[in-house]
């Protein structure tokens, strides 16, 4: 006789591994993408490209993934509500693997167009995380939801540890002569194909009641934004989510440019720094959040975590020696790790069981917009001053805290009414 709890445990393990691999591939890009375009010796761009042209191209390449995700993720989220989580996970993971392989090929043959195609494909078909979040919501009650989303966040942190670390190490020919900027993408692509097999063998469908009335359209992302920011009940928490993601993305995506310009970091140094950042995020979301949730509600935690995150990001501009960064980065990670799963939990708690995929898909659209705009803006302003993206990141997180504090009662009341 099958043990339902055993299935749930295997499901959770499979989902955690899926999220881990998704962010492992995402993390591998971080220490590589800037040197690939900015390094005067190893760049795939022609030598006549100016610094401003390179940073703008970098911003557009980084933004191509979330722009495609903006259109693709809500479609996959809606399809998962209709046809089940497992089928959509298999499709999205398979194309994630293909996109990673294409990115490695693009670097190898110095084809900028193929890099853009790879990132667009990854974004369009990369609904892994939102589908995994929907499956976690299927399996969780109100008491365990924030904790399980915290585990998802821990996998994000682990991916952020190992992704940049291996991205930096596997791309450094000083370690092994045949290593190159392409090597990490062969490895990540192979692991994603392994993940396809794991989902096929381990994962049991969690969707109990398919929503046959859900509509599927590439325009869903645009409609989701209109719904997110026009809904009286959900508007404020979606605005908080957007501003927080916007600010943290501005920091994470162009912090590497700051490290290269101010401290002359190469991809190995960048990888180690982001691995350190990810380690503290994993500690925050895997341990600290679970401890805090025993004492405080998610809504209470956000009153402090967002403010601390804003202050910690701007403090990164103060050190003249890079060693001091390692004293400040834990505060960035801990406050971010305490914010993200609790924002998602509040959004999820505001929806019914049949609407988890749809509402989390809307949040994915909001987040995709928050991922897409910062690198484009940062690409332009960093050509003026390489510190400006960090300043912008801190200001937008501060703005998210101001909105949250201003509408705290409205947000918490909405959550209580929807989950009553």
Q: Mean pLDDT of residues grouped by 10 in the chain (420 residues)?
A: 53 83 81 86 84 92 89 81 87 91 93 95 80 81 72 77 89 84 90 88 82 74 81 82 95 93 91 89 79 83 93 95 94 90 81 66 81 94 94 97 83 53
pTM value is 0.81
Report the Cα 260 to chain-centroid distance in Å. Answer: 22
Report how far residue 31's alpha carbon sits from residue 16's, in angstroms, rounded to the nearest whole number.
Answer: 24
Torsion angles phi and psi, residue 368, rounded to 5 = -60, -40
Count of all residues that appear for the chain in the document: 420
- 1, 196, 306 from 384: Cα distances, Å: 66, 44, 28
Report how far residue 287's alpha carbon sits from residue 311's, in angstroms, rounded to the nearest whole number.
Answer: 22
- 112-135 as b/e: b if 16+ CB within 10 A: bebbbbbbbbbbbbbbbbbbbbbb
Q: Examine residue 211 and state whether it is found in any structural domain, yes or no.
A: no
Nearest to 373 by CA among 286, 249, 262, 263: 249
**Residue 263 has what pLDDT?**
93
Report how far residue 325's alpha carbon sits from residue 348's, in angstroms, rounded to the nearest whole number.
Answer: 35
Other Cβ atoms closer than 10 A to 218: 11
Q: Examine residue 209 and state whether it is found in any structural domain, yes or no.
A: no
Q: What range defines the domain where residue 118 resides?
A: 4-204+219-419
Report how far residue 272's alpha carbon sits from residue 323's, in angstroms, rounded to the nearest whole number.
Answer: 13
**Residue 160 has what pLDDT?**
75
Q: Examine residue 193 and state whether it is found in any structural domain, yes or no.
A: yes
**Residue 419 has what pLDDT?**
46
Q: Domain containing 192 — which CATH number?
A: 1.20.1250.20
Q: Examine residue 172 and state whether it is found in any structural domain, yes or no.
A: yes
Q: Examine residue 302 and state whether it is found in any structural domain, yes or no.
A: yes
Q: Examine residue 212 and state whether it is found in any structural domain, yes or no.
A: no
Nearest to 237 by CA among 330, 361, 347, 97: 347
- 44, 97, 387 from 118: Cα distances, Å: 16, 10, 29
Q: Examine residue 53 and state whether it is found in any structural domain, yes or no.
A: yes
**Residue 416 has what pLDDT?**
52
| Structural domain count, the chain | 1
**Residue 406 has what pLDDT?**
87
Q: Examine residue 214 and state whether it is found in any structural domain, yes or no.
A: no
């Amino acid at each position: 006789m099958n043990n339902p709890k055993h299935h749930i445990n295997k499901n959770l393990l499979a989902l955690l591994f899926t999220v881990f691999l998704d962010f492992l591939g995402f993390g591998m890009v971080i220490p590589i993408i800037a040197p690939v375009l900015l390094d005067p010796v190893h760049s795939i761009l022609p030598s006549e490209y100016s610094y401003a042209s390179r940073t703008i191209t970098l911003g557009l390449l980084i933004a191509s993934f979330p722009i495609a995700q903006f259109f693709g993720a809500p479609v996959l989220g809606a399809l998962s509500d209709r046809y089940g989580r497992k089928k959509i996970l298999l499709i999205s993971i398979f194309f994630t693997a293909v996109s990673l392989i294409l990115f490695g090929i693009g670097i190898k043959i110095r084809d900028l167009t193929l890099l853009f195609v790879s990132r667009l494909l990854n974004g369009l078909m990369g609904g892994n995380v939102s589908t995994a979040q929907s499956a976690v919501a299927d399996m969780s009650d109100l008491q365990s939801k924030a904790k399980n989303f915290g585990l998802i966040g821990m996998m994000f942190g682990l991916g952020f540890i190992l992704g940049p670390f291996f991205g930096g190490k596997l791309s450094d020919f000083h370690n092994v002569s045949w290593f190159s900027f392409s090597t990490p993408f062969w490895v990540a692509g192979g692991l994603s194909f392994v993940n396809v097999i794991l989902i096929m063998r381990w994962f049991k469908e969690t969707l109990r009641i398919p929503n046959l009335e859900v509509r599927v359209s590439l325009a869903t992302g645009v409609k989701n934004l209109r719904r997110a920011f026009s809904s009286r009940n959900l508007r404020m928490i979606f605005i908080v989510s957007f501003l927080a993601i916007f600010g943290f993305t501005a920091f994470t995506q162009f912090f590497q440019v700051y490290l290269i310009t101010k401290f002359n970091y190469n991809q190995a140094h960048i990888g180690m720094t982001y691995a350190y950042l990810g380690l503290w995020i994993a500690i925050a979301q895997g341990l600290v959040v679970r401890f805090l949730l025993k004492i405080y509600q998610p809504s209470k935690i956000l009153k402090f975590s967002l403010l601390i995150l804003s202050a910690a990001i701007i403090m990164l501009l103060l050190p003249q020696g890079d060693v001091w960064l390692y004293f400040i980065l834990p505060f960035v990670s801990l406050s971010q790790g305490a914010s993200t799963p609790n924002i998602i939990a509040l959004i999820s708690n505001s929806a019914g069981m049949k609407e988890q995929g749809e509402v989390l898909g809307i949040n994915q659209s909001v987040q995709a917009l928050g991922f897409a705009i910062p690198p484009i803006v940062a690409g332009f302003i960093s050509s003026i001053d390489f510190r400006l993206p960090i300043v912008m990141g801190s200001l937008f997180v501060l703005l998210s805290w101001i909105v949250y504090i201003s509408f705290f009662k409205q947000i918490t009341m909405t959550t209580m009414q929807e989950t009553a």
